[in-house]
Amino acid sequence: MCGIAGYVGYRNASDVLIDCLKRLEYRGYDSAGIAVANKKLSIFKATGEIDSLRENMPKMHGSAGIGHTRWATHGKVSKENAHPHISCDKKIAIVHNGIIENFKYLKEQLEGKGHQFNSETDSEVIAHLIEEEYKGNLEDAVASAIKNLRGAYAIVAISIDEPEKIVAVRKESPLVVGAGDGENFVASDIPAFLGYTNRVIHPNDGEICIMEKDSIKFINEKGKELNKEEEVVNWDIEDAEKSGYRHFMLKEIHEQPSTIYNALTGRISEIEPHVELEDLESDMDEITITACGTSFYAGMVGKYIIEKLARIPVSVELSSEYRYFGRKSGTVVAITQSGETADTIGAVKEAKRNGCNTIAITNVTGSSITRITDFSIFTRCGPEIGVAATKTFTAQIAVLFLIALKLGMENFYLRGDELREYVSALRQLPSRLEKVLGKEDEIAGIAKKLKDYDSIFFIGRGVNYPLALEGALKLKEISYIHSEGFAAGELKHGPFALLDEKTAVVAIVAKDAVRDKMLSNIGEIKARNATVIAIADESDEEIDKYADHVIRFPSLPEFVSSIPIAVILQLIAYHVANLRGCPIDKPRNLAKSVTVE
Ligand code: F6R
C-alpha cells in the first residue's frame, strides 16, 4: 500500500505535496518523493519518513506537481525505487499505487524499443509507456498507456510540455479528487487534502481526470466527457484518517478485500494455473513455522494447508519456546507482522546458528526480521495501526496458501484441476469478503447478545481449530471478556466443567469431514444450557436446528473459507468490545510491537 498525491493551483506545489504525503504516511513510509513542473521537471526522492524528505529537500518552484510515499512491494527500499518515476526524455513523471501484473513483459517490450530503466519497480513501465504514446496531449497518452496495463493502479502523471496540468486515473486502487478554488488536488485518500478542501469527487475505474488550477474534467476510456458530482465531506482530520470509521481496527477489517487482493496479485495466475512466489525454493523436507500470538495462529492454519496440499510435514512452534527448546533443522518460516518481535527474531537467530534455511513472512519491508532471514515474503497490507492484528492475519494465511500451492505444484502432489480450483477460489476472495462485510449489522446484533457474558468459548476442528484460538484471542484482548479457544473434541476432556447458562460458545462449522462431529459437540453444549452461536457454511440448511444463532460464510473450497471465517470472528470481537465501550485501538497493557522478550 502506497500513498499518492497531485496538486495544481496557486501555492507552492512542493509545500502542499509534503503536507498531503505527511497525511498519507499511514499508508506506508519507507521512502518518498516529489516531482514539480516548472521550466524543467524538478525531482527529489529520499528513503525514510516524509520528515526526512522535507528536511533534505531543496526549494522547489512550481505550482503543479505529484508526490508519493512508498511501502515497497517490487524492489528494495532505495532512492532509485522511490517514486516519481520518469520517462527517458525526463519530460514525463508518474506516481503509482497498486501492482502492475504484466510489468516484466511490458519492460521487455519497452527495452526492445530502446527505453532505459532506472529502478526495479513495476511502476516505472508506466512512465515509459506514457512517453511512448505521448503526442502533445497527456490525457490521450495516459488513455493509450493504460490499455496495456494488467493489474491494479492509481496513477498521477505530469508532463513538462503541459506544466499546468495533472492527469490521474485509477483501476481497483483508491483515488479521490479534491476540488478547491483556484487549486485542485488528487490523492489516495481524503485526509491528504482535507486541510485545503472538503469538496471531493470519486473517480470510477477507468475514468481519466484532467486537472488544471481552475478546472477538473473527467473523460472515459473512449475520450467522452463525463459529468461527475461533487460531495462535501464533514469529517475532521482524525476521522478522515480512519476514513470515517470509528476505529482503525474497523477500518482495517474493512480493508481486507483489497489487502487480500494485494497479497495475491502478481503471484497467482488463472489462465495457465500457476503460483509465483519470488524465488521460493521448493526442496523442503520439513518445515518449522515459528511465531507469536495471532501470527502463530496463522502458522497453525498454514500447517493444515501445507501438509494437505504439499505433503510436507510442518511443526508450528511458539517463538518464545522454540528459541530455547525447539528442534532446529530443515526450513524455518518465521511469521511476524511487524518484523520486530523479539521472541521471533531470537528464534530465527537460533535457527540460523544451527544451519537452518530461514524465511520470513512479514508486513514490513526493511524490518529487522528481513535483515536476518535468507528470504522474505511480504504480506503487502500497508501499516496496521490497531493493536489487534486483523488484515495482516488474513494476508499471512493467503501467503501460506500460496506457499502450499507452489510446493504442492512443484513437488507434483497437486493436480492441475485442484490447483485451478484453488487459484480460482482465491481470486474470488475479495468479492466474497465484501459479502461478509455486508453482514456487519447482523454480526453487531449478535454481539449485543454476547456482550454481557463472563465467559465465551470458541470451538472448531481441523483448520477451524486455530481460527477458534484466534477468535478467542481477538475477543479477550479488545473486550476484556474471558474467552478461550478449544479443539471441539477436547471439551469433554475438561472444559465441559465450566459450561452452564452463563457461558456462550461460538462454534465454527464447515461442511467438511468432521461436520457431524461438530453437530454432536453443539448438542452436548446445548444440553448444558450454554448459548451457541454457529459460524456456518451458507449452504448448510440444517444448522439452524442446532444453534441459537447462525452467521453464514460463503461456500468455498476447503481452507479458502478460513479467510472469510476470520473476518466474521474479527467483527464479533470488534462489536462486542465497541458495545462495552473499550479502547479498541489501544487495549490496556498491550503494545503493537513487542520488542522485549
Ligand atoms: C494480537 C496480536 C499479537 C501479535 C503478536 C506477534 O492481535 O496482534 O498477538 O500477533 O504480538 O506480533 P508480530 O506478528 O508483529 O510478530
| Percentage of the chain modeled with pLDDT above 70 | 98
Identity (one letter) of the amino acid at 558? E
Is the separation of the CB atoms in 168 and 156 below 8 Å? yes
Ligand 1 center from residue 293 Cα (angstroms): 5
Identity (one letter) of the amino acid at 436? V
The SS3 call for residue 253 is helix
Mean pLDDT of the chain: 93
State the fold for domain 247-436.
Answer: Rossmann fold (3.40.50)
Is the separation of the CB atoms in 295 and 336 below 8 Å? yes
Candidates 449, 451, 511, 592; catalytic one: 592
- SS (HEC) of 174-188: CCEEEECCCCEEEEC
The model's pLDDT over 279-311, given as tens digits with 9 standing for 90+, comes to 787 788 899 999 999 999 999 999 999 999 999
Q: Report the nearest atom of ligand 1 relative to the CA of 343.
A: 16
The model's pLDDT over 170-222, given as tens digits with 9 standing for 90+, comes to 998 889 999 999 999 999 988 899 899 999 998 988 999 999 999 999 999 88
Top-confidence residue, 241 or 575: 575
- Mean pLDDT of all residues in 565-588: 96
Q: Is the pLDDT of residue 596 over 70?
A: no
d(CA 507, CA 485): 10
d(CA 367, CA 338): 7
Buried b (16+ CB within 10 A) or exposed e, 476-506: bbbbebebbbbbbeebeeeeeeebeeebbbb
CA 19: distance to chain centroid? 25
90 is catalytic: no
Q: Is the pLDDT of residue 271 over 90?
A: no
* Contacts of 61 by beta carbon, 8 Å cutoff, 6+ apart: 12, 36, 38, 42
The model's pLDDT over 113-162, given as tens digits with 9 standing for 90+, comes to 999 999 999 999 999 999 999 999 999 999 999 999 998 899 999 999 99
Assess whether the C-beta atom of 337 lies below 6 angstroms from ligand 1: yes
CA 326: distance to chain centroid? 31
| Percentage of the chain modeled with pLDDT above 90 | 76
Alpha helices, DSSP H, located in 94-216: 103-112, 124-133, 138-146
Quickly tell me which residue has 479534491 as its cell. 178
d(CA 7, CA 184): 6
Assess whether the C-beta atom of 368 lies below 6 angstroms from ligand 1: no
Q: Report the nearest atom of ligand 1 relative to the CA of 292.
A: 6
d(CA 295, CA 210): 44
* Contacts of 310 by beta carbon, 8 Å cutoff, 6+ apart: 403, 404, 405, 407, 408, 411, 413, 414
The whole-model pTM stands at: 0.77
Candidates 2, 209, 292, 381; catalytic one: 2
By most ligand atoms within 8 Å of CB, the mutation choice from 338, 344, 467 for ligand 1 is 338
DSSP-assigned beta bridge partners for residue 333: 289, 359
Quickly tell me which residue has 442446532 as its cell. 546
Domain spans, the chain: 3-239, 247-436, 438-592
Going by pLDDT thresholds of 50, 70 and 90, the confidence category of residue 393 is very high
CATH number of 3-239: 3.60.20.10
- Mean pLDDT of all residues in 305-323: 96
Pick the CATH number of 438-592 from 3.10.180.10, 3.30.300.130, 3.30.470.10, 3.40.50.10490: 3.40.50.10490
Q: Closest residue (by CA) to atom 7 of ligand 1? A: 388
Q: Closest residue (by CA) to atom 16 of ligand 1? A: 336
Q: Is the pLDDT of residue 334 over 90?
A: yes
107 is catalytic: no
By most ligand atoms within 8 Å of CB, the mutation choice from 252, 253, 295 for ligand 1 is 295
d(CA 41, CA 33): 13
Going by pLDDT thresholds of 50, 70 and 90, the confidence category of residue 233 is confident
Assess whether the C-beta atom of 317 lies below 6 angstroms from ligand 1: no
Tell me whether the CATH fold assigned to 247-436 matches the one assigned to 438-592. Answer: yes
Beta strands per DSSP E along 121-198: 151-159, 166-171, 176-179, 184-187
